[in-house]
Structures are given as structure tokens and as C-alpha cells.
Amino acid sequence: MTEIMNRGSTSCMQSFVDELVSQSSQTGMIVNGKKTKEMLIGSAIKNPPVPLLLNNTTVERVSTFKLLGVHISNDLK
């Protein structure tokens, strides 16, 4: 999931995550909060939003992750 935030705005990501969990439950799937990661990019790093909760588990914030063999960092280098 991706969210673009303007400076000074509040994040709506928690409501998006809640909707994802709800839709997943309806289809018989379970989203694993321990395997879910969050990465902030840009000015959000300096003033981070409230940590996300997924099934009462805090989503881990990371500065880098690997997606399809490509390493991505929060400075986009």
C-alpha cells in the first residue's frame, strides 16, 4: 500500500490497513502483522506518523527492504 502525504497533513494509512484486514478476513485470508513492514520516504521521516497496528501488532518501520531482488532504501538510492 502507498500513501502520498502533503506536508502538515495526517496519515490515513491506519484506516487503509484496517480495510485491508477486513477484506482479507471476508475472503478467508489472514494478514501477518509480524511479516508486514512500513517504510517512510521523504519529509515523513523527520516527522513520522503514529505507528501502524495490524491485528494488534505494531508494524515494523524499516529504512531498507528487498523487493523482487532489488534493495530499496528510504533515501531512494
At 7-41, the pLDDT tens digits run: 778 888 999 999 999 999 999 999 988 889 999 98
Residue 67 maps to a domain: yes
Q: What is the pLDDT of residue 56?
A: 87
Instruction: Answer whether residue 6 is part of any domain.
Output: no
d(CA 72, CA 77): 7
Domain presence at residue 59: yes
Q: Is the pTM of this model over 0.85?
A: no
Asked whether residue 3 is domain-assigned, the answer is no
Residue 1 lies in a domain: no
Residue-range definition of the domain harbouring residue 64: 13-73
- Go through the chain and tell me how many residues it has: 77
User: For residue 62, what are the CA distances in angstroms to 23, 30, 38, 49?
Assistant: 25, 22, 6, 14
Q: Report how many domains make up the chain.
A: 1
